[in-house]
Amino acid sequence: MEKVIKLVNSPFTANIEVFDDLVLQIFAPCNETALTLTLNPNIHDFKAKDVNPGSQVRNFTFAVGPQQSYTFDFNTHKTLIVKFNGKRYELTLQRIDQVEIDGSKFYSYELFATSQPASQPQSSATHPSS
């Protein structure tokens, strides 16, 4: 499975994306040169959008237990390999841009994600050697 994932660090958009069995959420710090993600946070009652026309949803999220956060940048850590639930995920940072929402600029992060069956059914994450 392959997917282009786009996350925007803005209070006006969901900063969460689901790819297969993996949940990705923007985590501090992130800026014009780096992105930090939390993998599989414990999210309580998340709605991507409301079913009622004309209404807006602002989600409240919190994480329980130890955080699994990883930082991407274009110099040393462009790719992250994660083994989770019997699958191997590869997340590669493709682009960091700015988008304008309601007159304010926010950082936008684009990743290319792939998944395939893992050779070893353990949970782990590594940055491959450059």
Strands 69-73 and 104-117: unpaired
Domain that holds residue 32: 2-45+60-126
Calculate the alpha carbon distances from 42 to 24, 76, 107, 128 in Å. Answer: 11, 28, 24, 26
Residue 101 within any structural domain of the chain: yes
Angle at alpha carbon of residue 32, lines to 14 and 22, rounded to 5°: 40
pTM across the whole model: 0.74
pLDDT of residue 86: 86
pLDDT of residue 120: 54
Residue 51 within any structural domain of the chain: no
Q: Which residues of the chain have pLDDT under 50?
A: 65, 121, 130
Which secondary structure element, helix H or strand E, spans residue 114, and what is its range?
A: strand 104-117
Residue 98 within any structural domain of the chain: yes
pLDDT of residue 92: 95
Residue 38, domain CATH: 2.60.98
pLDDT of residue 130: 44
Q: What is the per-residue pLDDT across 75-92, written as a single tens digit (0 to 9) for each? A: 888 999 988 888 899 999
